[in-house]
Amino acid sequence: MSAPTAQTPKLLDRLRAALRQRHYPAQAEEAHVAWVKRFIFFHDKRHPATLTAADVMAFLASLATDAERLEARSAILFLYRHVLNRPLDLPDPLQPAVRRADPIAALRDQAREALRVKHYALRTEEAYLDWIKRFIRYHGHRHPRELGGAEVAAFLTHLATEGHVAASTQNQALAALLFLYRDVLHQELAYPIETVRARKSQYLPAVLTKEEVRRVIAQLSGVHQLLAKLLYGSGLRLLEALRLRVQDLDFERRAIIVRNTKGNEDRVTMLPDSLVEPLKEHLRRVKRLHEEDLAKGYGSVYLPDALDRKYPNASREWIWQYVFPSDHLSTDPRSGVVRRHHLDESGLQKAVRAAARAAGINKRVTCHTFRHSFATHLLENGYDIRTVQELLGHKDVKTTMIYTHVLQRGGLAVRSLLDK
């Protein structure tokens, strides 16, 4: 790839100035700039003045969805008309000539759009699309319309017998293919496909003693230590902690509102007294960072369920900001808007593993181990299992009951006759 032209930053500055002159909102401005950047990078960082309408159409054809093509077309037309003073006559990007000729690529586009219509999480979308791609590749790149339940069963059997994947992985692949046939192709599978669903194994979770928790946390520092204390002190899952917004912390009631949980339901859990002041101090630093972003023309954050359309200014308000923001800005993969997301989970995961090794803990310690330890220690302290179930957000008390096995006592706390 050739080196970027020296004129590109100046071009983007001119684009921003033209957008502001025409009173474009900050979010729309960032989206236009992001699309122009992608267009330039797609063509090996060549200056747009050297490109043609055919080059623009090639870029539009490379995009995944109709919504992206329309957004990109609007941004590029603005660039050529109002910055380069060279209006382009571009055809509608949704006409068949611009769509990908490859029917399998078109199928992936349809699957992506169906997932977004049903508000699937970005991670689920990526996982499902990957399983669809692997299924098609396994059957010699034949279109799934030519395949059926028997081929789905063959693929899942291959995953289990040759891929040696876990039951949860095989079931995720099954869920992705069921979505493909039912919601994209609208085709029922005659084969009794549910019989292929793997049965999950029941494993006892690894749990730390209270002293081991203290030793691991002592090896952490800064934001990572604060997060680890929150996972253990409140029983949060890792992503639940990272996705917390400022408004989710209720310091007066010593409560945390956990939104959009694993079961898509909100719940309330405890906010430890010992974390109130550290969290307040942390939020003061985060607020300064947010104010700096606003001063630079950024400061917006992702909002769920189209709230950004209902409340256009909400994404820049303080209460909606992440409690644990990333240390850098990034481009939203769906909208192309440059914004500050929450911390990536891999940073804390690596830090916790390193802390467990440094503390000399001879157990497999992950971020989720703090949640297991939280539940087990509450039961050890005599709290009712229904209370623990509510704090953890388990739909079925049977899920919470596993911690009684970790305690090595059943519902009756039976002791061996030999001990008597």
Residues known to be catalytic: 237, 262, 368, 371, 394, 403
What does the block give as tokens for 157? 């059997």
59, 93 Cβ separation under 8 angstroms: no
Q: Cα dist. 60→57, 74, 132, 397, 410 in Å?
A: 5, 11, 23, 51, 61
Task: Determine the length of the chain.
Answer: 420
How far out from the chain centre does Cα 362 lie? 31
What distance in Å separates the CA atoms of residue 303 and residue 125, rounded to the nearest whole number? 18
210, 376 Cβ separation under 8 angstroms: no
| Half-sphere exposure (Cβ direction) of 292: Cα atoms closer than 13 Å | 10
What distance in Å separates the CA atoms of residue 134 and residue 131, rounded to the nearest whole number? 5
CB neighbour class for 340 (10 Å; exposed up to 12, middle 13-18, buried from 19) = buried
Q: Which residues pair with 257 in a beta bridge?
A: 268
